[in-house]
Chain A
Amino acid sequence: MRKSLAVKLIFYIGIVLVLTIGFFAYINTKIQKKYLIEEMKQSGIQLGQIIEKSISYDMLTAQNDRIQKTLEDIGHTESIETIRIFDKEGTIIGSNTVEELGMSIDRKAEACFVCHSEEHPEEELASSDMTRIFTAGSGRRLLGIINPIYNEPQCFNASCHFHPQEQNVLGVMDILLPLDRFDREMGSSQRQIVLYFLFTFLIIAGGMGLLIFMFVNRPINRLIVGTRKIAEGNLNYRIGSHHSDEVGELGKSFDSMTAELKKSREEIEQWNLKLKEKVKKATENLELANQKLQELDHLKSNFMRKMEHGLRSHIGVIQSCVSMALKEGDSAFSDVQADLINTANRRSTMLLEVLDDIILLSYRQSAGAEYFMEHVSLKDILHKVHGDFKVQAQKKNITMDLNIPSDLSPIQADPEALEEAFSNLVNNAIKYTKNDGKIFVSVKQREKEIKIEVTDTGIGIAAEELPKIFNEFYRASNAKSNKIEGTGVGLTIVKEIVDAHHGEIRIQSELGKGSTITVLLPKST
């Protein structure tokens, strides 16, 4: 939980105030008390001297009754508790209480000890030694004043010769003044000081608190509210500080920072808008370009169709005419003519094949090559291919076996593309296998893929040529030397199709013994 700064400040300032004001109040009371006591002592001493003077004549004339009377009179005033006159031996020779007369006190008593600590007592006393403060048995505090009565010339020159000249001090007058009133007043004064202290403390603490609240707490709270608002995204919020102090300064810089932030954000937003516009425009351009490309693609495929149609319809007719002419009248031609027509037949057939392959390859390699994936039965496709090439194989007396497991799961593929690929493979196998050879198509099901192998007992491919066999228009040297006609694009097309199905194609071959082409197709998930 957040602790308010003001609360903390007021707490610590309060502690400092209590300590300082309390300390000063304490010292002040002490000093005041000390001065007052001193003052009282002085007046006590003066009082003693005045009393001594006022009874000195009676003492000279040894009129003890009068002295006693005076002491009794004085002693009955409120300001004097006790007044006694002791002779040298400690015997009370005058007192405001008559009953005490003739009593003596021990010199060892505390009041006497100041002077009588040694055998020869002090005769000259400092004023501080003349006074003492003590608590009487009744619990009241009393101020005692010892006033020595010195042997003055009038005393030892008096006609009675009572006091010898050598004697310095004749006795002491002891006055006890009650401190009740003083203590009372001191008490009330202290209470007043405590009250003042409390009052001052409250005023200062309250004032400080108010000032802190006004100059620190409030502006800082506004700053906090401001930061929250801005963090929430309200960049229009202003603290609006008008203080000239640091906090005010902070508020102002905060406001200008927010303004800057707002400006930056607006700029960014504008940029964003511009960017969006640009992206939109670019997208439109792209769409337009794409549309044009599609149009071009459409034009291109139409062109290809027309070209294919144009070429094929003519070559097709030529080829058909020639092959039919051959069939019609084998015997009607001379050997040379038959050979020429045979050549024309062979080459026109070849030309058709080249044309087909080139058009197929250019389609498969074009960006517009489309694959229409569906769940297909590989079994059906392979059976169809097998059926399509049955006649061709029979012509060369090649046995073509098909081994497909009955529980073959369907795969996700373009059936026409796959048919095209396997037709190519089987066509190759027949083409490169000599009469009475064997072709074996086997399918094996694996966990994640289906493995199709097309094996022949053909002429094979030299090991060093294998890596190049999928390159377009590449033909193995033994294919050419054996005068087997071909375009060299069949395997390239097959690889394109297998790749489009995320499959894999491999070839194994041994020169003169045959080849095995392996196609791996992923099972549909």
Chain B
Amino acid sequence: MELDRSSAKILIIDDDPDYLKLTTLMLKEAPYNVVTANNPKEGKEKLFSEKPDLILLDIMMDSLFDGYSLCNDIKTSKEYEEFKDTPIIFVSAVKKATGSRFAFDLNEQGLRGPDDYVDKPAQSEDLIARINKLLNT
């Protein structure tokens, strides 16, 4: 069953305001309902207040890979239990093959991974295709 795109709410958590602006433009065109957060803390607040249908999460914000722990928390911790089924897409300017090796790193640290990941900058077609796919399943 196809979801009404405009009713789907997407939370973007990223420390780069320009990127937030760009992605918002891309997704609004889709169109989606977009909420942004500029850091993990704000992201957490928006998560509870806005209850998004999907999260685009930047991996590197204040520190390297702080996106990892936030993702893991949302997927596993009791605090975020109501959001454990909310799909998460990792967004990173670090390509997976450059050594960050998401799946491997996460597995090694015993962390739960995201539902998908995209490179930064994402091409709007690619990003929207991935979002749609996750929202429809």
Interface string of A289-325 (1 = CB under 8 A from B): 0000000000001101110110011001101110110
Residues of the A chain whose Cβ atoms lie less than 8 Å from the Cβ of B16: 313, 317
Q: A313-B16, A372-B104 are in contact. Are A320 and B95 (CB under 8 A)?
A: no
Stretch at the interface among A70-78, A139-147, A356-364: A356-364
Complex CA gap A477/B16 in Å reads 41
Q: What residues make up the interface of A, taking CB atoms closer than 8 Å to B?
A: 301-302, 304-306, 308-309, 312-313, 316-317, 319-321, 323-324, 352, 356, 359-360, 363, 368, 370, 372, 391, 416-417, 420
A–B Cβ pairs within 8 angstroms, 21 of them: A304-B98, A304-B99, A305-B64, A305-B99, A305-B100, A308-B95, A312-B120, A313-B16, A313-B19, A316-B93, A316-B121, A320-B22, A323-B123, A324-B22, A324-B26, A352-B121, A356-B95, A360-B98, A363-B98, A391-B125, A416-B101
Given contacts A320-B22, A391-B125, A420-B97, 20 further A-B contacts (CB under 8 A): A305-B60, A305-B98, A308-B93, A309-B93, A312-B120, A313-B19, A316-B93, A316-B121, A317-B16, A317-B121, A319-B121, A320-B122, A323-B123, A324-B22, A352-B121, A360-B97, A363-B99, A370-B101, A416-B97, A417-B97
Complex CA gap A173/B39 in Å reads 168
Complex CA gap A317/B94 in Å reads 14
Q: What residues make up the interface of B, taking CB atoms closer than 8 Å to A?
A: 16, 18-19, 22, 25-26, 60, 64, 92-101, 104, 120-125
Interface contact A312-B26, CB-CB below 8 Å: no
Interface contact A309-B60, CB-CB below 8 Å: yes
Q: A320-B121, A391-B125 are in contact. Are A312 and B93 (CB under 8 A)?
A: yes
Complex CA gap A391/B130 in Å reads 14
CB distance from B47 to the nearest CB of A (A): 23
Main secondary structure of the interface of A (DSSP, over half): helix
Residues of the B chain whose Cβ atoms lie less than 8 Å from the Cβ of A363: 97-99
Most chain B CB neighbours (cut-off 10 Å) among A309, A319, A359, A420: A309
Residues of the B chain whose Cβ atoms lie less than 8 Å from the Cβ of A309: 60, 92-94
Complex CA gap A304/B60 in Å reads 13
The chain B residue with its CB closest to the CB of A415 is B103
Interface contact B94-A305, CB-CB below 8 Å: yes
Interface contact B121-A360, CB-CB below 8 Å: no
Complex CA gap A368/B97 in Å reads 13
CB distance from B120 to the nearest CB of A (A): 5
Residues of the B chain whose Cβ atoms lie less than 8 Å from the Cβ of A360: 95, 97-98
CB distance from A386 to the nearest CB of B (A): 15
Residues of the B chain whose Cβ atoms lie less than 8 Å from the Cβ of A323: 123
Residues of the A chain whose Cβ atoms lie less than 8 Å from the Cβ of B92: 309
Residues of the B chain whose Cβ atoms lie less than 8 Å from the Cβ of A304: 98-99
Residues of the B chain whose Cβ atoms lie less than 8 Å from the Cβ of A420: 97
CB distance from B54 to the nearest CB of A (A): 20
Interface contact A317-B98, CB-CB below 8 Å: no
Residues of the B chain whose Cβ atoms lie less than 8 Å from the Cβ of A319: 121
Complex CA gap A306/B99 in Å reads 12
Complex CA gap A313/B16 in Å reads 8
Complex CA gap A302/B123 in Å reads 26
Complex CA gap A352/B93 in Å reads 11
Residues of the A chain whose Cβ atoms lie less than 8 Å from the Cβ of B123: 323
Complex CA gap A417/B97 in Å reads 8
